[in-house]
Structure 1
Amino acid sequence: MFKAFKIPVILNVLLSLCIIDGQKPSIGGQPSAVGGQKNTNAKRPNVIIIMADDLDSRQLSCYGGQNLKTTHIDALAKEGLKFHNLFTSEAMCVPTRASLFTGLYPVRHGSFQNHKPVYDHLKSVGHYLGDLGYRVGLTGKDHVTKPKSVFPFDIVAGFEPNCVAPTDEYGLDDIRKYITGSDKPYCLFVMSINPHAPWTVGDTTEFDAAKLKLPANWVDTPVTRRQFAKYLAEVRRLDDQVGEIRALLKETGQDKNTILIFLGEQGAQFPGAKWNLYDTGQQSSMLVRWPGKVKPSTETHALVQYEDITPTLIDIAGGKPVAGLDGRSFLPVISGKNKEARNYAYGIHNNIPEGDPYPIRSIRDHRYKLILNLASDKPYYNRFMMDRNRKDRNTVWFSWVDDTADANAKKITDRFEHRPAVEFYDTEKDPFELKNLAADPQHAQRIATLRTELEAWMKQQGDEGASIDRVYR
């Protein structure tokens, strides 16, 4: 039993956990721990969230991509709201999904390294929406569904759960049964494994590798172009899946009362994207189609993070804010009442178990990005892209290292392996973050301000920095 003198201390801790981005919770009428329910007389909407796997969102034609026309994803953009500034806090699959489901940043949910499990005392979107009368299901990639006590999803057959499977055969029958099998509203996560490596599905004959437009931070080699064509074939496969889900909603008559959300996850498994804190890794895509609520063909530059999605779903379902979550609802942005959602987006990278320890932290506002490399005295190394023992498995990276024809090859590979302690970028002028402005006195005050904000966030999160990037038993 707690003693009376401990109560103020406990309250202070709970309040401190709610202070994110410089905003404090209201003292009067604290939200309940599970989220109470507002007055919801109207029929509440269903929600389907389609999530990609390792998607370079810049390849989507509705986001400016020039290598393929993503017809069905583009249709969502035409019918709804397009977000330009959604960021994952940690550019790898398990932490991103744990943040999506829990509304917490990685250090607080525990999955701050890839495949590190979340803490088993947590609650997630399954609890929060379940308490509000929703069925919460998931089909497809299931990396973050354990323990069941934390992630009480209805697991629905249909999509491939293994992201490295050589095929991604799927069917819609069980999904159809789930979305039509009850009068209770549902929130269904459709988790595709495309376009996650090994890029073995899809029709590559659509693409002429020699004519592909490569990202500006890549080395142009024949191997890179060949692998990129395989990657784009899986983006096409993803786009087709989005089309089939849209058709299913229309076929079952649920398209009018179902919010359809598309999410891009984090960047692709190419050097400089996934497993890094550059925008090509952190920046994602989000499209929201909500008939009667969201104006078609609208766009927003509001800053949001994956941690904000569960609080938004709670808000949509009629629940009150949940105390202690890191994320915040951006429903006012969706409804057009607000243009902004937060001041900063934060980033964390811990490299174990995917390579040598290489902790990184970042913060960005709408334009500027600060990156702190906490182990800059060592070279960056990732075993999936740069395996020293299996060069045959890492053909793209080693084709860059061995390239002698491209004058920029050595500059690009050196930049990737050997990083300064501080990086600072103007992402408006330099979207691929190739010109480090950290030493420019013109930006000294801006860098100092962002660093202060970043360090305050780390302290609030309980993030000790470099020391947490270690092997856990």
Structure 2
Amino acid sequence: MKTEKLLSVLFPSFAMMPVVVQAETGKPNIVIIVADDLGTNEIGCYGGANISTPNIDRLASEGMMFTNNYASMAMSVPIRASLYTGLYPARHGSYQNHKATYNSVKSAAHYMAELGYRVGRTGKDHPANQPLVYPFEKVSGFEVNCVASHPPVSTAGGIREFITRNADEPFCLYVCSINSHMPWDAGDASEFDPAKLVLPPNCVDNEQTRKEYCDYLAEIRLLDNEVGMVYETLEETGELDNTLVIFLAEQGPQMPFGKWTLYRYGTHSGFIARYPKAIKAGVVSDALVQYEDILPTMIDFAGGEPIEGLDGQSCLDVLYGKSEGERQWVYGIHNNIPEGDSYPIRSIQDKRWKLIVNLTPEVNYHCKYVTKPGSSMWKSWLETAKMSKDANWLVKRYLIRPAIEFYDLQEDPWELNNLASDPAQAGRIAVMRAALETWMDQQGDRGVLMDTQHPEDSALILTQSSSSGRGDCVSLSN
């Protein structure tokens, strides 16, 4: 684990902490703050150049920041199902966006309640309409509808009531913001000068992109304010230092190469954890982590035994400075239906190397939200592409993809230089492809067959249970 001291702050040895904590307050609390479609590249402590995020940055300066946390699926319903269940999408059932979790699956609402916690959620309710799987207590204060236009400002009253209701009972609360999800009309974009923006290198640089990017940044400002509000509420109620506070960025923004892809812009996700009684301040970890690991970590933190059958693994020892991490690989799964025509993608990576396998490269990729005719940003990209070779290359690259993509994330974090045809990488690609197929087999991932419109499916969240979903693996071999 790489560690970098951001602040020269040392805390007492953790070896003596459990006795102190139990004597003073019993089990510690847990608060998980989840952003919505937040590109980690714009967070200040992750190197963001366009906006200050003092409240998120404060959590990092007072806790641990992970630089290699990844979403296995860059869309909200599947990745939140993974967050809540500790399972990868093929096993929890929500392997397409807005597809239901299997009703036989248990979630954090069950596991944490069994450990004596009151478990609540405020804000965005994905996955929704499945009370058997996700029986969270509903907490008021944050907007539920992620596509609400000009939503009301979030308030802390419901959170305060929830955490102070019973001082003898520990609480576990998910605070799920809808920022920075489209339509990007809630914030004040006048804070930002379009001409001074530093755009990601995978963006077509034109006036429209810069305008909309300012709208996006304005919602990140709202998100950071919400993080500050939660922090202050915990502080005012005396619960801050007895609470494990986790911040998660979810997946990347609704832009080409971001959300609804397996590119790093879509899957790389901020993960910060603060708990001064055991987590040293100002530490940066490069341990590989996925969303599926969060629930096992919470259970471990709360004193529970490991749950047999979960895909994730606890990273509590990493948080406590006892381990550099045990993951060798992180995995990605993308099924395009219902957000476009079938276009299944799988990926595997370590800290440096990334393999993407496009299972149907003979067709072009489309996402109805990103490439729809009414998208002002995409329309501007197409217009710019008529005059700019660089823009033309980016547009074609987004739509037309080879069967194999291979990237050196150390040298090329924006994945602009495909090394798949480099003979020097053939051995590494073969090893990673075999590991990916092994994972798919373990998951019951049926490859192309997973990205089809099943008769029982609809564009809405399902409420009926499905079968286990496991089946014969389809080889990645073409």
Does the alignment reach a TM-score above 0.5?
yes
Shift of 1:171: 1.6
- Pair 1:210 & 2:195 matched: yes
- Pair 1:201 & 2:186 matched: yes
- For residue 74 of structure 2, what is the aligned residue in structure 1? 91
- For residue 379 of structure 1, what is the aligned residue in structure 2? 364
Counterpart residue identity of residue 172, structure 1: A
Shift of 1:405: 4.1
Could you list the runs of 4 or more consecutive aligned residues of structure 1 that deviate by over 4 angstroms after TM superposition?
38-42
- Pair 1:366 & 2:343 matched: no
Shift of 1:467: 1.3
Where do 1:129-140 residues align within 5 Å? 129-140=112-123
Shift of 1:143: 1.7
Partner SS, residue 261 of structure 2: coil
Counterpart residue identity of residue 389, structure 2: A
Counterpart residue identity of residue 37, structure 2: D
- Pair 1:172 & 2:156 matched: yes
- For residue 48 of structure 1, what is the aligned residue in structure 2? 31
Shift of 1:402: 1.3
- For residue 381 of structure 2, what is the aligned residue in structure 1? 400
Deviation digits for residues 115-138 of structure 1 (CA, Å, limit 9, x no counterpart): 001101110111111001011100
Shift of 1:406: 3.2
Shift of 1:468: 1.3
Q: Distance in 2 between matches of 1:255 and 1:132?
A: 20
The RMSD of aligned alpha carbons is 1.3
Where do 1:73-472 residues align within 5 Å? 73-169=56-152, 170-182=154-166, 183-387=168-372, 391=373, 393-403=374-384, 404-472=386-454
Q: Distance in 2 between matches of 1:109 and 1:89?
A: 13
Shift of 1:407: 2.9
Deviation digits for residues 11-69 of structure 1 (CA, Å, limit 9, x no counterpart): xxxxxxxxxxxxxxxxxxxxxxxxxxx99955211011110000001001110000011
Assess if the C-alpha contact under 8 Å between 1:159 and 1:168 holds in 2.
no
Shift of 1:358: 0.2
Shift of 1:302: 0.3
Shift of 1:145: 3.8
Q: Tell me the percent identity.
A: 51
Assess if the C-alpha contact under 8 Å between 1:102 and 1:124 holds in 2.
yes
Partner SS, residue 269 of structure 2: strand
Alignment match of 1:66 (pick from 49, 56, 63): 49
Counterpart residue identity of residue 394, structure 2: I
Structure 1 residue ranges without an equivalent (≥5): 1-37
Partner SS, residue 417 of structure 2: coil
Q: Distance in 1 between matches of 2:79 and 2:220?
A: 19
Partner SS, residue 161 of structure 1: coil
Assess if the C-alpha contact under 8 Å between 1:107 and 1:461 holds in 2.
yes
- For residue 25 of structure 1, what is the aligned residue in structure 2? none
Shift of 1:77: 0.7
Q: Distance in 1 between matches of 2:212 and 2:22?
A: 52
Q: Distance in 1 between matches of 2:285 and 2:151?
A: 33
Assess if the C-alpha contact under 8 Å between 1:67 and 1:213 holds in 2.
yes
Shift of 1:365: 0.5
Partner SS, residue 307 of structure 2: coil
In the alignment of these two chains, the number of paired residues is 432
Partner SS, residue 278 of structure 2: coil
Shift of 1:167: 2.7
**TM-score, scaled relative to structure 1:** 0.90
Shift of 1:370: 0.2
Partner SS, residue 85 of structure 1: strand
Assess if the C-alpha contact under 8 Å between 1:48 and 1:190 holds in 2.
yes
Structure 2 residue ranges without an equivalent (≥5): 1-17, 457-478
Partner SS, residue 399 of structure 1: helix
Assess if the C-alpha contact under 8 Å between 1:219 and 1:406 holds in 2.
no
Shift of 1:270: 0.3
Partner SS, residue 118 of structure 1: coil
Deviation digits for residues 227-274 of structure 1 (CA, Å, limit 9, x no counterpart): 000000000000000011111111111112011111000000000110
Assess if the C-alpha contact under 8 Å between 1:265 and 1:284 holds in 2.
yes
Counterpart residue identity of residue 328, structure 1: Q
Q: Distance in 1 between matches of 2:117 and 2:192?
A: 43
Deviation digits for residues 264-322 of structure 1 (CA, Å, limit 9, x no counterpart): 00000000110000000010001101012111110100000000000110001110000
Partner SS, residue 62 of structure 1: helix
